[in-house]
Amino acid sequence: MSQLPGIITDWFASKGWSIHPHQHVMLEQASAPCTLLIAPTGGGKTMAGFLPTLAELAEGSQDGLHTLYVSPLKALAADIKRNLRAPVEEMGLPIRIDDRTGDTPASRKKRQRADPPHILLTTPESLALLTSYEDAARTFKGLKRIVVDEIHALAESKRGDQLMLALARLQTLCPGLRRVGLSATVDDPQAIAGYLACHPDPCDIVQADPGPAPDIRMLETGNAPPWAGGGAAYAIPAVMEQIKAHRTTLIFHNTRAQAEIFFHNLWLANEDALPIGIHHGSLDRVQRERVEAAMVRGELRAIVCTGSLDLGIDWGDVDLVIQIGAPKNVKRLVQRIGRANHRYNAPSKALLVPANRFEVVECRAALEAVREGDLDGDPRGPGPRDVLCQHILIAACAGPFDADELYTEMTQAGAYAGLSRPAFDACLEFCATGGYALKAYDQWQRLLQRPDGRWQLRDPRATQRIRMNLGTIQDADLMKVRLKRSRGGKPLGEIEEAFAATLTPGDTFLIGGQTVRYEGLREMTVEVSRNPGKKPKIAVFSGTKFATSTQLSTRILEMFKQDSWPALPRHTADWLELQREVSELPRAGSLLIESFPHDSREHTCIYGFAGRNAQQTLGLLLTKRMEELGLDPLGFVATDYATLIWGLEALADPAPLFELHALRDGLDGWLAGNAVMKRAFRGAATIAGLIERNTPGARKNGRQATFSSDILYDTLRKYDPDHLLMDITREEALRGLVDFGRIEDMIARIRGRITLKRLERISPLAAPLLLEVGKVPVKGAAEEKLLQREAEALMQQSGLAGLAQ
Amino acid sequence: MNGFDFTLAGARLTALGSGALWWPEQQALCVSDLHLGKSERHARRGGSALPPYETQDTLSRLAAVLDGTNAKTVLSLGDSFDDDDASHALPKAEQNLLASLMQGRRWIWVEGNHDPSPAVFGGEHAAELKLGPLVFRHIAVPQAAAEVSGHYHPKARVRGTSRPAFLLDQHRLILPAFGTYTGGLRSTDPVLTELMEPNALALLTGPRPTAVPMPR
């Protein structure tokens, strides 16, 4: 179908629009089984995805569902519905369009299953849910095309894995189904194409004209950035000037906490009372929607935001993007820059604001990478098995299934193409019986094998529980924050339960740009009152802390090799010169360790350049080894490029600390009991269906209903360490939060070449680490001692000490 | 012995770090809320299959405490089984382990709300029990005195970490849950703050049992 019906071309002509070349290519490609379109933001990507559908539906002969559109955001589905319905109505096309997300009322959902629209706009979770019904085959009958929007973002998460397994299901139901992926600029289009295609079918890649190169620079400020810290408060006046000089500015931050602090400071400097908003994932949905609406109406001059604005919705007239803090990842930076100037063929304008002097170096490296078009990206491992387990349960909800057929179907999803039969069988076994080493559970299994060999749910009522717990998005334990009922009870957002537990009435913290006072807990909700007076604590939000990418770290080490740094600001070049004088600069082919006394403690600084997560893990493993060697470590702190350890004894011989096998042993023993592993376990156990977040009719107080995932983890570690979920947990943690892979890479890179520099005092490069937040105390016997001391003090204070005996 | 010594109604008692209560004078050990068979009940009621090792784990820990104290009498203070059916469904190996623990001891099953009439494993059954100056029952009675009970699974938070805890005042002692899969109720819950006197203590379990003013 390369010819557009006249009704559509006439409409384009009446608007004075022409069809972009890549939109033409997508029309010519319409009958291909799989196409990936890569286009910059503002390139008419969505229209390119829908044009073939409109062309095919124009004559009005389609009965039932024709095209499914899947986006990672509910808001995007609603937005597209509006933006698509308008032209369809103007053209007078006989096309019904509807959306289906978690927010859609149940009555409409029911109607959609019985009488689906021609175009259904949905999310991965809602689609997975649709495939779990017995009547899925009827709902999807006649489906021709599926359009996956923002596939570059989905492909990085388990939501994408879930979606691709659902597509495999749909492909079985509708063998002629054609797939289209819409993606922003990425480092490895081939990888996304392989992810999208029905394995082993090929996938064509269409590259739209990337448009002019972005206009991107470092923000120049009157005063130099500080040695350490992430607030970038020094840049507030300069940022304010930029906001005034532009129509609308997006100000991106790497974490929600930083966004809150910056927003707070920006308002203190906002003498002209310019309309400036804040937007991040922990804010209440109503508040976020209000900011989004104001943005679309062009009422805001700036929005302070996080990754929550990385995707999708067309924000109108943004003419400047500011990135506060080092970008950590070049690909994401390029995608963020694309948010400015949504008009095709106009260069996007962006400014980088380093928060400290090391970030000046990082920003410089990132600018060069953007200029050279050198995008970073770590290849993603094989599809995670916890998602596979959930999908087996979803399949069982839809009706009895044959294991051979399901295995064949699942391996058609690119991420699972390499899945072995034994690995699949282990997941099936887990779903059926729990997969425990001892088979005490046969009489209570969840799935049963029928005489005809097919598998079915033992109890059909289980479908309700499975559907309620479907999905792969992991909320940390978040608690809602609202104003006290007597003051209106307005919801403000969410904070982590762990942070809430540290609050006592009277404490103040920042949320949504306002300072509030903690009043108390009420039915699992944090109640607060407005209190602008005191200096607030900083709430801990669950936003991801990204580690600097391997490619960016390599670039920084390359820069360190230079004789001088004319491209860097004077203050930063001087700082590096000084480091070279008193110690040396870290190099790629060896490991620099500095040892120096400071503040009556011995310090050891290890410049591994392995990214925050790996440096953190290194800190845990090394302090454990140092304790065994009698070096009395007291604590450590990690950044993207170094780990600083302090203790009572100086390190004389580093070699034994960096033996790979010894570190590995530590990983299996010491780290296995670590909170990081428990967090990974909780995620895997929830997705795989061992822990249910939602139970029908669960009691509110939850005392009997919830199981501590930590206790389940400890029990499995003790009695069944080779259990499937333990295996999945290790795999996840090693490549995610623990990131042991990058420690192994580092040790391979240095090949035993370790330089230990004994210094009289702290070095310029190590100094910023002293000011880093997130210091980790080394807990051992010390923890019990501190508890005893605190308990004694409490008993004395309360006058109860005499009563105890 | 790793424990915290105190007196209730003239009886000299020791709260053990494991969450068990030891009464040296009577050579009696008291544990509460074992919830044996919890994962089996969970699966039977349509939930997911939790790791079925908690009964083994609970009994192994109980065996360790019995080894340490050489108790002559054991009081299981209710909710010993997660429900009456769970008591029937204990796997053979775990039944045998339990039988070996009961061997040669006076063993009293006090009724709980989960297990009003558990299966016959031997031993005595009682709705409540008087021993010396103390009365043992599953759920505390507000006006009672010299009372030892369980039921609430109390825990207390100090220095940011929460641990199962005994709650103690002049009139009563509430034991923490001994079972492996048992959640806890914070001492700050109104049910507990109303039940306990203002000067009540929380005795934290752990490597060294420690007393703190009960967090409210």
Which of A609, A491, A633 shows the shortest CA–CA distance to A557? Answer: A609
The pLDDT of residue A701 is 37
Structural contact between residues A65 and A127, judged by C-beta atoms closer than 8 angstroms? no
DSSP string, A693-742: S--TT--TT-TTT---HHHHHHHHHHH-TT-HHHHHHHHHHHHTTS-HHH
The pLDDT of residue A805 is 43
Share above pLDDT 90 across residues of chain A, in percent, rounded to a whole number? 44
In B, minimum Cα distance to A726 occurs at: B51
Once rounded to an integer, what is the mean pLDDT over residues B120-127?
Answer: 86
Structural contact between residues A332 and A368, judged by C-beta atoms closer than 8 angstroms? no
| SS3 assignment, position A567 | coil
Share above pLDDT 90 across residues of chain B, in percent, rounded to a whole number? 72
- Torsion of Cα atoms, A656 then A661 then A667 then A669, to 10°: -90
The pLDDT of residue A784 is 57
Query: Domain with B158 in it: what CATH number?
Result: 3.60.21
A804 inside 8 A of chain B by CB:
yes
The distance of B123 to chain A (nearest Cα, Å) reads: 26
Instruction: Decide if B158 and A716 are in contact by the 8 Å CB cutoff.
Output: no
Instruction: Decide if A715 and B210 are in contact by the 8 Å CB cutoff.
Output: no
Contacts of A690 in chain B (CB under 8 A): 48-50
Once rounded to an integer, what is the mean pLDDT over residues A770-782?
Answer: 65
Instruction: Decide if B52 and A800 are in contact by the 8 Å CB cutoff.
Output: no
How do residues A296-314 score in pLDDT, each as one tens digit? 788 999 999 887 776 655 6
The pLDDT of residue A533 is 65
Contacts of B208 in chain A (CB under 8 A): 784, 788
Residue with the bigger pLDDT between A622 and B46: it is: A622
A502 inside 8 A of chain B by CB:
yes
Report how far residue A589's alpha carbon sits from residue A58's, in angstroms, rounded to the nearest whole number: 62
Residue A294 CB coordination number (10 Å): 14
Of B49, B159, B207, the CB nearest to A446: B49
The pLDDT of residue B119 is 63
**Model confidence band, residue A542 (pLDDT cutoffs 50, 70, 90):** very low
Of B52, B160, B212, the CB nearest to A502: B160
Instruction: Decide if A803 and B91 are in contact by the 8 Å CB cutoff.
Output: no
Contacts of B46 in chain A (CB under 8 A): 459, 461-462, 465
Instruction: Decide if A711 and B40 are in contact by the 8 Å CB cutoff.
Output: no
A795 inside 8 A of chain B by CB:
yes
Contacts of A704 in chain B (CB under 8 A): 183
A404 inside 8 A of chain B by CB:
no
Residues ≥6 apart with Cβ < 8 Å to A487: A529, A530
How do residues A385-443 score in pLDDT, each as one tens digit? 999 999 999 999 999 999 999 999 999 999 999 999 999 999 999 999 899 987 666 66
CA angle A654, A658, A662 (to 5 degrees): 125
How do residues A143-157 score in pLDDT, each as one tens digit? 999 999 989 989 988
A706 inside 8 A of chain B by CB:
yes
Distance of CA A414 to the CA centre of its chain: 21
DSSP H or E run through A119:
strand A119-122
Instruction: Decide if B52 and A786 are in contact by the 8 Å CB cutoff.
Output: no
Q: Which residues make beta-bridge pairs with B9?
A: none
How do residues A177-206 score in pLDDT, each as one tens digit? 999 999 988 888 999 999 999 999 999 999
> Which stretch of A320-324, A349-353, A610-614 has the lowest confidence by average pLDDT?
A610-614
Once rounded to an integer, what is the mean pLDDT over residues A94-110?
Answer: 90
A716 inside 8 A of chain B by CB:
yes
CA angle A428, A433, A434 (to 5 degrees): 85
- Please give the DSSP secondary-structure letter assigned to residue B25: G
Structural contact between residues A149 and A182, judged by C-beta atoms closer than 8 angstroms? yes
Sheet strands side by side (includes B11-16): B3-8, B11-16, B21-23, B28-31, B73-76, B106-110, B124-126
In B, minimum Cα distance to A704 occurs at: B183
How do residues A718-744 score in pLDDT, each as one tens digit? 999 999 999 999 888 877 777 888 888
DSSP string, A205-254: EEEPP--SPPEEEEPP-SSPPPSS-S--GGGHHHHHHHHHHSS-EEEE-S
List the domain range (segments joined by +) for residue B102.
Answer: 3-213
The distance of B16 to chain A (nearest Cα, Å) reads: 15
Of A704, A718, A786, the CB nearest to B159: A786
How do residues A348-378 score in pLDDT, each as one tens digit? 889 999 988 889 999 999 999 988 888 887 7
The distance of B53 to chain A (nearest Cα, Å) reads: 7
Q: Crossing angle of helices A421-433/A403-410, nearest 10°?
A: 120
Residues ≥6 apart with Cβ < 8 Å to A480: A491, A493, A494, A524, A525, A526
Once rounded to an integer, what is the mean pLDDT over residues B85-109?
Answer: 90
CA angle A332, A736, A392 (to 5 degrees): 100
Structural contact between residues A174 and A96, judged by C-beta atoms closer than 8 angstroms? no
Residue A543 has pLDDT above 50, yes or no: no
The pLDDT of residue A223 is 85
**Mean pLDDT, all residues of chain A:** 85
**Model confidence band, residue A662 (pLDDT cutoffs 50, 70, 90):** confident
Bridge-based pairing state of the strands A514-522 and A633-638: unpaired
The distance of A64 to chain B (nearest Cα, Å) reads: 36
A486 inside 8 A of chain B by CB:
no
A771 inside 8 A of chain B by CB:
no
What ipTM did this prediction achieve?
0.88
A798 inside 8 A of chain B by CB:
yes
The distance of A463 to chain B (nearest Cα, Å) reads: 10
The distance of A392 to chain B (nearest Cα, Å) reads: 14
The distance of A141 to chain B (nearest Cα, Å) reads: 33
Of the ranges A223-227, A582-586, A691-695, the best mean pLDDT one: A582-586
- Torsion of Cα atoms, A290 then A291 then A294 then A299, to 10°: 150
Bridge-based pairing state of the strands A119-122 and A204-207: unpaired
DSSP H or E run through B210:
strand B210-213
Which of A677, A657, A669 shows the shortest CA–CA distance to A613? Answer: A677
Residue A775 has pLDDT above 80, yes or no: no
Considering its fold, how many domains does chain B have in total? 1
Instruction: Decide if B199 and A703 are in contact by the 8 Å CB cutoff.
Output: no
Report how far residue A325's alpha carbon sits from residue A421's, in angstroms, rounded to the nearest whole number: 46
A17 inside 8 A of chain B by CB:
no
Instruction: Decide if A794 and B213 are in contact by the 8 Å CB cutoff.
Output: yes
DSSP H or E run through B149:
strand B147-149
Q: Which residue has tokens 């139970």?
A: A695
Residue A539 has pLDDT above 80, yes or no: no
**Model confidence band, residue B30 (pLDDT cutoffs 50, 70, 90):** very high
Report how far residue B2's alpha carbon sits from residue A787's, in angstroms, rounded to the nearest whole number: 16
**Model confidence band, residue A473 (pLDDT cutoffs 50, 70, 90):** confident
Contacts of B13 in chain A (CB under 8 A): none
**Model confidence band, residue A576 (pLDDT cutoffs 50, 70, 90):** very high
Residues ≥6 apart with Cβ < 8 Å to A692: A465, A468, A469, A686, B47, B48
Which of A656, A726, A638 shows the shortest CA–CA distance to A688? Answer: A726
The pLDDT of residue A76 is 79
**Model confidence band, residue B15 (pLDDT cutoffs 50, 70, 90):** very high
